């Protein structure tokens, strides 16, 4: 059976690789680093689900989603929006979200898999049962030999996932904070420039008024000289 395709659109290579690692063996994972390339990838591959970061350069997640929805055949594809800054999402789309599902960063590996499986269920029960009956014996042997190995691996994966997303989230928040500070400074400078511009305009008006007064005086002087 062909694996379901999941398209991950995120400008962070760490997040893309992390998601690909989590979903490896479960889904065919495709990657895109921004909204434009994500839209192109969606047009080419027609994925079964899209995992879409909200905060990205050029096109944010919602702009990308709107572009995807205009493509014939992609109007109904499930979209899970991910972001560590939920308030930025709600600035564009008020809750409750109806056009997409939302998953807040940082998220654990099993939470991501569970959310995706709610849209893309695993293989039918009889297929899974057949597969499970084939590997049950070997799994039991491995569990007897190393009972805690899978638990340790799961914990390491979960810890790595949270660490990567935590770092990304901190960086993202710092960038947003600095951007907002820079924006505030620019607004302040614009206001100062506006004040200076208004003063210059008033001075110019005063000079113009004085020049007109001088012209009147000069005309009067010439008139007196002619007399």
CA distances to 21, 139, 149, 178 from 143, rounded to whole Å, are 23, 6, 8, 50
- Confidence at residue 67, expressed as pLDDT on a 0 to 100 scale: 95
User: Is the pLDDT at 80 greater than 80, yes or no?
Assistant: yes
pLDDT of residue 101: 93
Highest mean pLDDT: which range of 10-14, 94-98, 194-198 = 10-14
Residue whose token pair is 């059976």: 1
Nearest partner of 167 among 106, 111, 104, 110, judged by Cα? 106
Residue 22: pLDDT above 60? Answer: yes
Assess if residue 33 is contained within a domain.
yes
Peptide bond into 208 cis (omega under 30): no
CA atoms within 13 A on the CB side of 197: 6
- What is the Cα 95 distance to its own chain's centre? 17
What pTM does this model have?
0.58
The CATH number covering residue 85 comes to: 3.40.50.2300
Buried b (16+ CB within 10 A) or exposed e, 203-227: eeeeeeeeeeeeeeeeeeeeeeeee
pLDDT-derived band of residue 92, with 50, 70 and 90 as boundaries?
confident
- Residue 85, pLDDT > 90, answer no
Q: State the residue range of the domain holding 159.
A: 5-123+154-174
132 within domain boundaries: no
In a domain, 117, yes or no: yes
Q: pLDDT of 187-222, one tens digit each?
A: 778 888 888 888 888 888 888 888 888 888 887 787
Whole-number pLDDT of residue 168: 63
- pLDDT computed for residue 32 by the predictor: 95
Residue 136 lies in a domain: no
User: Of 124, 120, 172, nearest to 7 (Cα)?
Assistant: 120
Mean pLDDT value across residues 130-138? 47
Q: With bands split at pLDDT 50, 70 and 90, how would you rate the model's confidence at 30?
A: very high
> Torsion angle, CA of 209/210/212/216, rounded to 10 degrees?
140
CB environment 101-117: b (16+ within 10 A), e (fewer):
bbeebbbbbeebeebbe
At 224 the pLDDT is 76
Q: Is residue 24 part of a domain?
A: yes
Number of structural domains found in the chain: 1
Q: Is residue 39 part of a domain?
A: yes
Residue linked to tokens 């400074």: 185
Q: Report if residue 210 sits inside a domain.
A: no
- Output the pLDDT for position 98: 84
Dist CA 52 CA 68 (whole Å):
11
For the ranges 23-27, 48-52, 60-64, 155-159, the one whose mean pLDDT is highest: 48-52
Q: What does the angle CA 180 – CA 184 – CA 190 come to, to the nearest 5 degrees? A: 140
The predicted model gives 132-143 an average pLDDT of 48
The pLDDT score that the predictor gives to residue 44 is 95
| Beta bridge partner(s), residue 5 | 28
Q: Which residues pair with 226 in a beta bridge?
A: none
pLDDT of residue 102: 93
Q: Give the mean pLDDT of 146-158.
A: 56
Q: Given a cut of 60, is residue 157 above it in pLDDT? A: no
Torsion (CA) 207, 210, 215, 216 in degrees, nearest 10: 160
Measured distance CA(86)–CA(84) in Å, rounded: 6
Q: 204 in a domain, yes or no? A: no
Pick the closest to residue 61 from 119, 9, 107 (CA basis): 9
């Amino acid at each position: 059976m062909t694996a379901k395709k999941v398209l991950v659109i995120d400008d962070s290579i760490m997040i893309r690789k992390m998601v690909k690692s989590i979903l490896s063996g479960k889904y065919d994972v495709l990657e895109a680093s921004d909204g434009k390339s994500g839209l192109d990838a969606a047009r080419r591959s027609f994925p079964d689900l899209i995992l879409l970061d909200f905060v990205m350069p050029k096109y944010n997640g919602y702009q990308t989603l709107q572009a995807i929805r205009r493509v014939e055949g992609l109007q109904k594809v499930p979209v899970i929006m991910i972001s560590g800054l939920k308030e930025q999402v709600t600035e564009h789309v008020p809750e409750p979200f109806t056009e997409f599902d939302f998953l807040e960063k940082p998220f654990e590996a099993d939470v991501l898999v569970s959310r995706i499986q709610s849209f893309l269920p695993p293989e039918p029960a009889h297929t899974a049962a057949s597969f499970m009956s084939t590997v049950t014996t070997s799994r039991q042997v491995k569990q007897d030999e190393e009972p805690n190995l899978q638990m340790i691996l799961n914990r390491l994966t979960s810890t790595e996932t949270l660490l990567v997303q935590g770092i990304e989230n901190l960086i993202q928040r710092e960038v947003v904070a600095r951007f907002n500070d820079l924006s505030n400074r620019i607004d302040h400078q614009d206001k100062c420039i506006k004040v200076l511009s208004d003063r210059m305009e008033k001075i110019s008006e005063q000079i113009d008024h004085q020049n007109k007064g001088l012209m009147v005086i000069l005309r009067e002087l010439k008139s007196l000289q002619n007399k």
